[in-house]
Amino acid sequence: MSAPRLSFSQLRRGPLVLVNREHSLPGTAAPELQRVWDGAPDVLLERRAAELLRRCVCAAGGWGKIVPVSGWRSRAEQQRIWDDTLEKEGEAFARQFVALPGCSEHETGLAIDLGQGGGAVDFIRPAFPETGACGAFRRLAARYGFVLRYPEGKERVTGIAHEPWHFRYVGVPHARLMEEAGLCLEEYFDFLRERPRRCVLENGLSVTARYVPWDGMARELELPEGCWQLSGDNASGFVLTVWEMAA
């Protein structure tokens, strides 16, 4: 496997890319997308996120009990949702629940809005309760790499109202580390900046995540042979994740 390479373009790529009001996404090409469920042919996610979502929904009780409401959105689609919501609900509501075009995680293909199946589903604010299959999904999500992106109590950090239906794929070790420490994505990078963090997965692999600040110098990182992943944070650095057999 080739070495991880730090570069300006990599800063905007990977499962940990931060997209919010302060960190917009440049208008880049669409990620490699996949349908998440045949019952909702228009809902697409990035390939790996789609695969893990299917596994998690299956473990939580299956599609039908849970329905995908909105996944990847193009910039034009986000603009249309913003314009529609602004017109129908007014600016205060739109600012609370709809991100400005370029500032929506949905444009990454890593975010999904989920609803409870079996009835009418609200597109902007779908019901996703704590009970039944939805509750089971919540409890299992981190094991499959998903986090509740806008939790209650983090509104001042995320800048977004509590959204019990919006989940974000960040990858398994990161979702587990964030859940264990009670952190949202904005806070997670500071947590890694303090020191590298380690977690041991159920399959016996040990994973270490560390923050590498971007100093503007494109270069390769030297690593011993092994499995790694490099994700930009769309701000000031990268998260390098390395998997090893636990000693």
Q: With binding defined as CB under 5 A, does residue 113 bind Zn ion?
A: yes
73 or 197, CB closer to Zn ion? 73
Cα gap 156→153, rounded to integer Å: 8
Between 54 and 166, whose beta carbon lies closer to Zn ion?
166
Q: Which residues of 107-125 are buried (b: 16+ CB within 10 A; e: fewer)?
A: bbbbbbbbbbbeeebeebb
Q: Is 163 a catalytic residue?
A: yes
Q: Which stretch binds Zn ion (CB under 5 A): 5-13, 42-50, 106-114, 216-224?
A: 106-114
Name the one range near Zn ion by CB under 5 A: 26-34, 55-63, 158-166, 215-223: 158-166
Least distance CB 113 / Zn ion (angstroms): 4
User: Does residue 168 interact with Zn ion by CB under 5 A?
Assistant: no
DSSP sequence for 100-134: PTTS-GGGGT-EEEEEESSS---SSS----SSHHH
Residue 220's Cα: distance from chain center in Å?
A: 26
Distance between CA 34 and CA 46 in Å, rounded? 6
Residue nearest to Zn ion (CB): 166
Active-site residue among 46, 105, 107, 163? 163
Toward Zn ion, which CB reaches closer, 107 or 113? 113
Minimum separation from the CB atom of position 216 to Zn ion (A): 33
- Which SS3 state, helix, strand or coil, does residue 147 take? strand
Q: Residue 26 and residue 202: Cα distance in Å, rounded? A: 37
Length of the chain: 247
Give the total of residues touching Zn ion (CB under 5 A). 2
With CB under 5 A as the contact rule, which of the stretches 22-30, 53-61, 161-169, 195-203 interacts with Zn ion? 161-169
**Binding flag, residue 107, Zn ion (CB under 5 A):** no
Contact predicate 56/79, CB 8 Å: no
Residues that bind Zn ion (CB under 5 A): 113, 166
**Catalytic residue numbers?**
163
